[in-house]
């Protein structure tokens, strides 16, 4: 299989995103048609076999999540699919590319997922600033209703499914799936305690499948080409392709799709055509603010969930922020901690106070003893915070200290 094979970006630049005809010409909705001839169990088996893992950051096995949702509350007449298009992780700009360029692909993926969990209704939760994404997705939804791809008895089948958009107000925490559901229910964006997980008690208490935009965009390929074909792409535990959002002083920053396992070296020096003149590679922040700092020893580590985990790092959303010899690492560190302080919802003490303490400390001239204290505080927050946001500073704080201690202390 060609390493240039694209799944999420296959049609980008090749079709008019407002044209259903264009999408149909490239085989659009053929996977949905195939799906409608099988039973939900068979579809879920295929997704499980493919090895697809969620692209929102946590990398949870997508087929298993579908299975849990399918198996939950057989008597429930209402079952929901929620597409997480909040894209709040700093440095991440991939979901918008799918929505702006190939909205019908996203809708087809949502429909396949909806059918597999016996879903009745779906929501695309899009951040409000994504005007173009909103326009493209809403236009595609409208067209799908007009042409029988949404609504009652889709394409003459017994499957009926409603789909609409919902606008997020720009809170990072509302990208977290349970907080997102609160927001979708019209409530303040405070997290829920898990368990129960959305598969059991989701939107309005009903079984709900929550997936990221990129995750949904892989379903039509898996149904069309087969799970084995998909599973041949990528690494042992990270199958398929991934969107990598490269930013920083490289010659060609951008969002690129490659099979899981591509190295940082290849991404930076080949795909992005190297560092800009006068800048030398120093390291990277992988996975956004909630991710991990890495140094040049990671240049040849395959970018995949398991390989990065073995080295204490994370792939997260696929954000790759490049650090160079002129990067003010301390300022970046401080900026991340300010971000967490700003985004903490304040509901629980360890995170409300902890994010403030970490940020305030980062503004001072740091000594080695301060870094030890910051790492301890991050551990305390990770153990005692109510939701994943309060647990998030742990990775960036400790990895920054591990790889860039000198830069943090010197300035």
Ligand X SMILES: Cc1cc2nc3c(=O)[nH]c(=O)nc-3n(C[C@H](O)[C@H](O)[C@H](O)COP(=O)(O)O)c2cc1C
User: Contact positions toward ligand X, by CB under 6 A?
Assistant: 54-58, 60, 84, 86-89, 172-173, 175-177, 210-212, 215, 388-389
Q: Give the C-alpha separation, 47 to 219, whole Å.
A: 8
Minimum distance from residue 382 beta carbon to ligand SF4 (Å)? 10
Select from 346, 360, 367, 376 the one that contacts ligand SF4 (CB under 6 A): 346
Q: Are strands 80-85 and 208-212 parallel, antiparallel or unpaired?
A: parallel
- Residue 394 partner contact from ligand SF4, ligand X, none using kind-dependent CB cut-offs of 5 to 8 Å: none
Write the binding mask 179 to 198 for ligand SF4: x where contact by CB under 6 A, - elsewhere: ------------x-------
Q: Give the C-alpha separation, 113 to 79, whole Å.
A: 11
Strand runs labelled E in 152-309:
162-168, 208-212, 241-247, 254-259, 281-286, 292-295
Please work out the total of residues on this chain that contact ligand SF4, with binding judged by CB under 6 A: 14
- Residue 347 partner contact from ligand X, ligand SF4, none using kind-dependent CB cut-offs of 5 to 8 Å: ligand SF4
Q: Is the peptide bond before 7 cis (omega within 30 degrees of 0)?
A: no
Q: Give the C-alpha separation, 213 to 56, whole Å.
A: 8
Cβ atoms of 186 and 96 within 8 Å: the answer is no
Shorter beta-carbon distance to ligand SF4: residue 54 or 191: 191
Minimum distance from residue 52 beta carbon to ligand X (Å)? 9
Minimum distance from residue 200 beta carbon to ligand X (Å)? 15
Tokens of 243: 């969107």
How far apart, in Å, are the Cα atoms of 68 and each of 45, 108, 207?
12, 21, 9
Write the binding mask 302 to 341 for ligand SF4: x where contact by CB under 6 A, - elsewhere: ----------------------------------------
Q: Give the C-alpha separation, 362 to 336, whole Å.
A: 10
Q: Give the C-alpha separation, 206 to 201, whole Å.
A: 5
- Residue 172 partner contact from ligand X, ligand SF4, none using kind-dependent CB cut-offs of 5 to 8 Å: ligand X
Minimum distance from residue 346 beta carbon to ligand SF4 (Å)? 5
Q: Is 277 exposed, middle or buried (0-12, 13-18, 19+ CB in 10 A)?
A: exposed
Tokens of 276: 């800009």
Q: Which helix (H) or strand (E) holds 338?
A: helix 329-343
- Residue 215 partner contact from ligand X, ligand SF4, none using kind-dependent CB cut-offs of 5 to 8 Å: ligand X
Tokens of 344: 């903490």
- 3-state class of 134 per DSSP? helix
Q: Give the C-alpha separation, 286 to 41, whole Å.
A: 36
Contacting range for ligand SF4; rule: CB under 6 A; set: 95-103, 238-246, 263-271, 382-390: 382-390
Select from 314, 385, 399, 407 the one that contacts ligand SF4 (CB under 6 A): 385
Minimum distance from residue 172 beta carbon to ligand SF4 (Å)? 9
Shorter beta-carbon distance to ligand SF4: residue 14 or 383: 383
Minimum distance from residue 187 beta carbon to ligand SF4 (Å)? 14
Contacting range for ligand SF4; rule: CB under 6 A; set: 235-243, 307-315, 386-394, 403-411: 386-394
Residues forming contacts to ligand SF4 in the complex (CB under 6 A) are 173, 191, 344-348, 351-352, 385-387, 389-390
């Amino acid at each position: 299989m060609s390493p240039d094979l694209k799944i999420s970006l296959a049609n980008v630049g090749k079709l008019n995103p407002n044209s259903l005809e264009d999408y149909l010409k490239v085989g659009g909705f053929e996977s949905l048609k195939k799906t409608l001839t099988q039973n939900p169990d068979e579809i879920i088996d295929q997704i499980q076999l493919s090895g697809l893992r969620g692209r929102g950051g946590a990398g949870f096995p997508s087929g298993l999540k579908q299975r849990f949702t399918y198996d939950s509350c057989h008597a429930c007449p209402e079952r929901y699919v929620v597409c997480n298009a909040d894209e709040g992780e700093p440095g991440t700009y991939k979901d918008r590319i799918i929505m702006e360029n190939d909205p019908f692909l996203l809708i087809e993926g949502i429909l396949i997922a909806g059918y597999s969990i016996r879903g009745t209704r779906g929501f695309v939760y899009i951040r409000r600033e994504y005007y173009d994404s909103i326009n493209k997705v809403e236009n595609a939804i409208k067209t799908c209703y007009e042409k029988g791809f949404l609504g009652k008895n889709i394409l003459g089948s017994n499957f009926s499914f409603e789909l609409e958009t919902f606008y997020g107000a720009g809170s990072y925490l509302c990208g977290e799936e349970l907080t997102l559901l609160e927001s979708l229910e019209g409530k303040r964006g405070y997290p829920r305690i898990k368990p129960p997980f959305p598969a059991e008690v989701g939107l309005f208490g009903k079984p709900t499948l929550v997936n990221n935009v990129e995750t949904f965009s892989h379903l039509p390929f898996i149904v069309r080409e087969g799970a084995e074909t998909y599973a041949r792409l990528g690494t042992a535990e990270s199958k398929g392709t991934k969107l990598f959002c490269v930013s920083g002083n490289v010659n060609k920053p951008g969002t690129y799709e490659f099979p899981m396992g591509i190295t940082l070296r290849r991404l930076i020096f080949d795909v992005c055509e190297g560092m800009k003149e006068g800048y030398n590679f120093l390291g990277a922040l992988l996975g956004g603010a909630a991710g991990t700092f890495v140094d040049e020893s990671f240049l040849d580590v395959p970018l995949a969930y398991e390989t990065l985990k073995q080295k204490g790092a994370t792939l997260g959303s696929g954000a790759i922020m490049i650090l160079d010899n002129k990067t003010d690492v301390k300022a970046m560190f401080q900026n991340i901690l300010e971000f967490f302080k700003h985004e903490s919802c304040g509901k629980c003490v360890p995170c409300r106070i902890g994010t403030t303490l970490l940020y305030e400390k980062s503004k001072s001239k740091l000594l080695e003893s301060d870094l030890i204290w910051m790492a301890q505080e991050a551990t305390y927050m990770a153990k005692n915070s109510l939701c994943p946001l309060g647990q998030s500073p742990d990775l960036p704080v400790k990895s920054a200290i591990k790889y860039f201690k000198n830069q943090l202390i010197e300035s």
